[in-house]
Amino acid sequence: MDCSRARTKDPGEWLQTCPDFSQPLAEQVVEWFLNWEPDLAESIKWNMLCFSGRKLVCGLSACQQHLGVTFFRGTELPDPARLFSPGGEGNTNIRSLRLATLDGLNHAALRDLLHAAVALDADPTLPPAPKVKRKPWPMPAFFKQALAEKRNRAAAEGFKQLSPTCQREYLVWLTMAKRPETRAHRLAQTLAALKSGRRWAQRKLT
């Protein structure tokens, strides 16, 4: 899930301000969801358009090149059509699918998934599955060395103040840099962002 600051708290405005690519996808999926489960309530959390019953059921993430559909108790849901993206989200509950187009989408399977998620949420006798703590992502040696430098004291403190999830986003991004020039660029951008107390998703803000 995105750690960036929500651009709005209004579901209607959220839809209107989605990226051009994912906006029509989001509008169609919202229409489907509210037709299939009209009692769901809409809200904005983590810059996602979320749908709730007793608790959070699912949410939409409007990205530049896809629409993310997240089910907060996804691993407890039947998925015979294999709509969910492989690999999961790193914990026992959340599962998502990415939609770059609605052409060829198994609408009936998505509807069944939503119905199952709502039914699961509505049953108070079925508590969520326990979460499994992810193993910490190792800190790259070059990043650890940079944070230890006196001139980067503010960045080190900024990193320390982040939640483990948001720390992990920086660590994964830095680790995935293979070329020296890419690594140097990402390190410089990371240090500048951390000095200003910005999370990974906000790293390009000035």
46: left (phi over 0), alpha (psi -120 to 50) or beta: left
Whether residues 107 and 153 fall in one domain: no
Domain co-membership, 19 together with 117 = yes
Task: Render each residue's pLDDT in the chain as its tens digit; 206 residues.
Answer: 343 445 688 999 999 999 999 999 999 999 999 999 999 999 999 889 999 999 999 999 999 899 999 999 998 999 999 999 876 555 558 899 999 999 999 999 999 999 999 999 999 888 877 766 667 889 999 999 999 999 999 999 999 999 888 898 899 899 988 899 999 999 999 999 999 989 888 887 65
Could you please report the per-residue DSSP string of 114-159?
A: HHHHHHHHH-TTSPPPPP-PPPPPPPPHHHHHHHHSGGGHHHHHHH
Last residue of a domain, one of 91, 122, 153: 122
Q: Residue 178: give the domain boundaries.
A: 141-202
The CATH number linked to 31 is 3.90.1150.200
**Within a domain: 129:** no
**How far is the C-alpha of 30 from the C-alpha of 42, rounded, in Å?**
10
Q: Is 97 helix (H, G, I), strand (E, B) or coil?
A: strand
Burial of 113 (0-12, 13-18, 19+ CB in 10 A): buried
Is residue 172 assigned to a domain? yes
Same-domain pairing of 77 and 155: no
Domain co-membership, 100 together with 53:
yes
pTM over 0.85: no
H or E segment at 69? strand 67-71
